[in-house]
Amino acid sequence: MKKIFIFLAGLLAGLHSYAQLTPFAEGIKKNALPIVYLPENVSVQFISPEPIQYVDISAKSVIGDLPLKNVLRIRLKDSVNLADAVITIAGEKFITQYHVIRADSITARDARTEIAIDPAGTHPLDISGIGLSQNQLKQMALNLFCKRPGRAIEKTKAFGLKAELYHIYTAGDYVFIDLGYWNKTNLAYNIEDFRFHIDDKKITKATNVQSVELKPEYILFNNPFFQKTYRNIIVLKKMTFPGNKVLHIELSEKQISGRVITLSITYQDVLDADTIPI
């Protein structure tokens, strides 16, 4: 009996020493994650401050979808038992995790159906190729909008409308364009679309016309119409083109006989633009 006791004591001591010497990965422990109770037949919405880029749900008993680019909706599968799950959510510049537990009759009373993701409680994330986040673009565009427009550096007129370019600034791979429009008619202008395309400055019949359309990365305001004046900040991704190209900014109206006004900017002006002031 004494030999058995000594053997067991030695075995336990060895296991304890092994556990102490075994290296564990650094990171967040599961029991340190914020808990989300998930009731039966109830959806829980996670509201992200940025567009959601990635979601992982560790248990098949929880299903989720993205009804909006910054909203994650989860719920329990019908007739499925859930012990717990870990949900990982990554935005443009952050990553965070939650510990999801099936709610019982007691915890269901205080279960939250809407959870706002607090950036202060997340971990920074740098996804290659993402560039500036939508929140960062919005803040920079707002700062530019708060500047006085000043004197227009380009302007054009058509159909009782006047378009003016106030500023062009760059920030990394982004171009910030400060535009203003004046409506001198008594007819409100119902905005259909902004279009941006780059064309050759001079086009001859013998030349193959190459027109490249650019999609805005961010538009500060999405006004459906304006009565007399309208100002907006448009953010484009900077493209590599020679300076002899022209950037056309086309604003079109919804009506069938809609008024279209096009502002032309030499692309060299875009290439030579100053860095956006902080």
Cα–Cα nearest to 179, from 232, 221, 142 = 232
In contact, 251 and 196? CB cutoff 8 Å? no
At 180, is the pLDDT very low, low, confident or very high (cuts 50, 70, 90)?
very high
Please list the residue range(s) of the chain that carry CATH number 2.60.40.
28-130, 136-275
In sequence order, the 6+-apart residues with CB closer than 8 A to the CB of 45 are 71, 72, 73, 113, 114, 115
User: What length is written for the chain?
Assistant: 278
pLDDT tops 80 at residue 278:
no
The answer on pLDDT for 116 being more than 90 is: yes
Nearest to 84 by CA among 104, 61, 66: 61
Domain 136-275 top-level CATH class: mainly beta
Q: In which region does residue 172 sit, left (phi positive, over 0), alpha (psi from -120 to 50) or beta (all else)?
A: left
Least confident among 120-129, 149-158, 267-276:
120-129
Residue 57 pLDDT level (bands cut at 50, 70, 90): very high
pLDDT for residue 164: 92
Higher pLDDT, 204 or 201: 201
- The CATH architecture to which 28-130 belongs is Sandwich (2.60)
Q: Which of 43-47, 55-59, 129-133, 230-234 has the lowest mean pLDDT?
A: 129-133
CA gyration radius for the chain? 29
Residue owning tokens 């990394």: 172
- Phi, psi (degrees; rounded to nearest 5) at 178: -100, 115
